[in-house]
Structure 1
Amino acid sequence: MAAPTNTRFAVAVHVLTYLASCAAAGRTTPVSSDELAGSTAVNPVHVRKVLGPLRTAGLVRSRPGAHGGWELAVDPKTVNLAQVWQVLQGDDQVLGIHGPNPACAVGASIQGVLVDLDRRVARAVLDELSGITLDDVMSTAGFNAEDFAILLP
């Protein structure tokens, strides 16, 4: 199976979990894009591109400057993954529907079927993600307060 090309959601959940873990550890200093990039194994620019829309949505905040960085702006118990998905995915197609040849008998009629299927899949994704909070992600991953101590500066 081919690897997904859009990793924004996965990186966002990873980074939000990292920021929530830092807060749970009592960290009072922001987390740099470089530190987040090290944890996610992606470029710091990609981390910032993912965090930008999350900042606009009020899920994270940033502090500029040499000692700046990122912090979680919400309680992990109140943020569900559907909110994160909607910020990053919006109304974009989930299935990657192509533009078929309208002169083809199949191509002329398949588009409506695929668009409807995409809407149903998107609704199912949102329904599933709405029941999972950032706090649930931390719990499912097995994090506990002692684990967070390593995240302190």
Structure 2
Amino acid sequence: MQISAKADYAVRALLELAADSERPLTCEAIASAQDIPYRFLKSVFQDMRKAGLVRSRRGCEGGYWLGRDADRISVAEVMAAVDGEFFTLRGLRPDALAYPGVAGGLPELWRSAEAAAYDVLGGTTIAALTKRGTVARRSSSAVPA
């Protein structure tokens, strides 16, 4: 399974928004904080806004906020919002596949892989990842005695 740069950038941008939800963040600030190409991130934000994952306001007081609580946004939902279908094989959903002969059992493997990936990514929220990142940052900045 390959995770697209678009999906990776989208999740990282949402983590920045979740970590600082008191004020709007600009696309420039998020791109800088996460070392993401600004122009690419702008297109990612367009997809996320269409999906209701973020909301925005123009102007000097503007920027982006989460579209809803971070504990109600799953990584799988983010991936689908920016990439389309969550899991495809040659552009087809695994439940639409059928192979002849000895390969007849292969679509079931692809469906199982999709289900396992969705269990992990669909069960992981932006809030949970933000918490993990905060704990990891504290652990790595702790000075040994």
TM superposition score normalised by structure 1: 0.67
1:20 corresponds to: 18
User: Counterparts of 1:89 and 1:31 in 2: how far apart (Å)?
Assistant: 23
- 1:2-151 alignment to 2 at 5 Å? 6-23=4-21, 26=22, 28=23, 30-91=24-85, 97=90, 117-142=109-134
Q: Which moved more, 1:128-137 or 1:67-76?
A: 67-76
Is the CA contact 2:76–2:86 (under 8 Å) kept in the aligned structure 1?
no
> Matched residue of 2:64: which SS?
strand
Q: 1:110 to 1:50 in 2, by over 3 A?
A: farther
Q: 1:135 to 1:56 in 2, by over 3 A?
A: same
Q: 1:93 to 1:74 in 2, by over 3 A?
A: closer
Q: Which amino acid aligns with 1:16?
A: L
> Matched residue of 1:141: which SS?
helix
Is the CA contact 2:71–2:127 (under 8 Å) kept in the aligned structure 1?
yes
> Matched residue of 1:88: which SS?
helix
Is the CA contact 1:97–1:114 (under 8 Å) kept in the aligned structure 2?
no
**Percent of counterpart pairs with the same letter?**
26
Q: Which amino acid aligns with 1:9?
A: A
> Matched residue of 1:58: which SS?
coil
Measured after TM superposition, the shift of residue 85 of structure 1 is 1.7
Q: 1:21 to 1:122 in 2, by over 3 A?
A: same
Q: 1:89 to 1:5 in 2, by over 3 A?
A: closer
Is the CA contact 2:71–2:126 (under 8 Å) kept in the aligned structure 1?
yes
Is the CA contact 1:93–1:118 (under 8 Å) kept in the aligned structure 2?
no
Number of aligned residue pairs? 129
User: Counterparts of 2:48 and 2:110 in 1: how far apart (Å)?
Assistant: 24
Per residue, is there more helix in 1 or in 2? 2
Runs of 5+ consecutive residues of structure 2 not aligned to the other structure = 92-99, 139-145
Runs of 5+ consecutive residues of structure 1 not aligned to the other structure = 99-107, 147-153
Measured after TM superposition, the shift of residue 37 of structure 1 is 0.8
